[in-house]
Chains A and B, each alone.
Chain A
């Protein structure tokens, strides 16, 4: 179980008067993520998702607050090394070692996680097959396509059989086919018992994959729930209307209520089932977003 208590992260920056100031990236974040759960951090750009994941994976030190993995504190150096051994990270940026081949990149990772030679060789072969990259083992990482690089990032993160996997925007800028394949990989991992924490600004991705979703905006946690509960709470139907420029919508608990409402407005309109994107817009600021 991962427990996050009152997490805060600030960065120094210059204000509009060019004076030193503090930018709050994450503010008072508290969360609990259960073992075996696929948990989504959802939010617009700048919401604090990546900063949160960087603190959880010990790439960045929190300004204040606590992070515990099964009761072990990341601030304790011995605990931190044990925690690092059990987590895998798929970062947003393609941070491969550019001077190494595909196989060497994986071997470096396996060595960093203290795997012996037999284990390393078997696991690298297994994972390259898993992500269908076995034919490029001796190619430089620069030669791979964007989708291949994303799959290699996932393979690298899985080498040491992590119990918890962090994926930071794993499908950003990928075509739908590759995105689907990555979703399949994530589902298979969760089926095998891994805890998965995924950040995304693709609402469809969160709805498709996650058991629970935390919606963040401007560094703050807005709400946490299952995608279906979010939809049920706000209303299962949406009346949507638009003119040449604006689009707006309103939640209703039944189609009948939505129909009655539509009768009162003078614009092109429709009724449909609500989805997580509607909830997301409602929670993160409809007027700014639309």
Chain B
């Protein structure tokens, strides 16, 4: 099983190596814009509840949303491999366990999410942000990458067209990017919307990263919720992969 996971991961690592420079450069654009626009620009005129600078509030949110986007979109080529190129059949007929394929793909996406996060952390320090990185901080970041990689995998299994994959970005990831405690506290939202938003994994990631980064007490309940998402979406994606044979 481990060697099969490594094989699937190896394939994505080879592809990433081919494109490493382009990958790193392209991943710097969005966070740089967020930091300049919201950190330097708008941020100077924004007061946070505890009096901290807005950039310190913002960076954990950017980390959460960026790792979500990168991890999700790292797995979306699986959709083309299933629907257009059919190269996924190579894995279906190979003597490997189906879940080895899912885990390998998710781990490769987590790696991309973490590389991207490392770039943001470096840029954030350069912009004068203050936050502490602890093992729990990294664990939450990894959990967030894994959950959204799994969601990307499940979407790649269920959706039939490239346009539908794009719609997931537009109708699910984009609203989450702005509403899940990334740029502002969910307390500012109307109650009904707030309750819904606080059920979503990105909200828990944002609050956990912000809490851990600032040294505040965090709710381990939120870690539990992320773990529930991790297991549930993993099973959904894995079963969908197994059912491709039908």
B87 engages A96 (CB within 8 Å): yes
A91 engages B86 (CB within 8 Å): yes
Cβ distance B81 to chain A, nearest Cβ, rounded Å: 8
B95 engages A82 (CB within 8 Å): yes
Set B3, B81, B92: member contacting A59, Cβ < 8 A: B92
> At the interface, yes or no: A242 with Cβ under 8 Å from chain B?
no
Among B4, B92, B93, the most chain A Cβ lie within 10 Å of the Cβ of B93
Known: A82-B95, A84-B95, A85-B95. A108 touches B11 (CB 8 A): yes
Q: Which residue in chain A gives the minimum CB-CB distance to B246?
A: A61
A95 engages B95 (CB within 8 Å): no
A-contacting residues, B214-246, CB 8 Å:
245-246
A100 engages B15 (CB within 8 Å): yes
C-alpha spacing A44/B157, complex, angstroms: 31
B93 engages A84 (CB within 8 Å): yes
Cβ distance B23 to chain A, nearest Cβ, rounded Å: 13
A57 engages B93 (CB within 8 Å): yes
Cβ distance B5 to chain A, nearest Cβ, rounded Å: 11
Cβ distance A130 to chain B, nearest Cβ, rounded Å: 20
B-contacting residues, A56-103, CB 8 Å:
57-61, 81-82, 84-85, 87, 89, 91, 93, 95-100
A108 engages B93 (CB within 8 Å): no
> At the interface, yes or no: B53 with Cβ under 8 Å from chain A?
no
A-contacting residues, B1-34, CB 8 Å:
3-4, 7, 10-11, 14-15, 18
B93 engages A61 (CB within 8 Å): no
> At the interface, yes or no: A109 with Cβ under 8 Å from chain B?
yes
C-alpha spacing A89/B90, complex, angstroms: 9
A58 engages B18 (CB within 8 Å): no
Q: Which residue in chain B gives the minimum CB-CB distance to A80?
A: B95
> Which B residues are within 8 Å of any A CB, using their own CB?
3-4, 7, 10-11, 14-15, 18, 77, 81, 85-87, 89-97, 245-246
Known: A85-B95, A87-B93, A96-B85. 16 other contacts (CB 8 A): A58-B92, A59-B245, A61-B246, A81-B97, A89-B93, A95-B85, A95-B86, A95-B87, A95-B90, A98-B85, A99-B18, A108-B7, A108-B11, A109-B94, A111-B10, A113-B95
Supply 26 A–B pairs (Cβ within 8 Å), ascending by A.
A58-B93, A59-B93, A60-B245, A61-B245, A61-B246, A84-B93, A84-B94, A84-B95, A85-B95, A87-B93, A89-B93, A95-B85, A95-B86, A96-B85, A96-B87, A97-B11, A97-B90, A98-B85, A98-B87, A99-B18, A100-B11, A109-B90, A111-B10, A112-B91, A112-B94, A112-B95
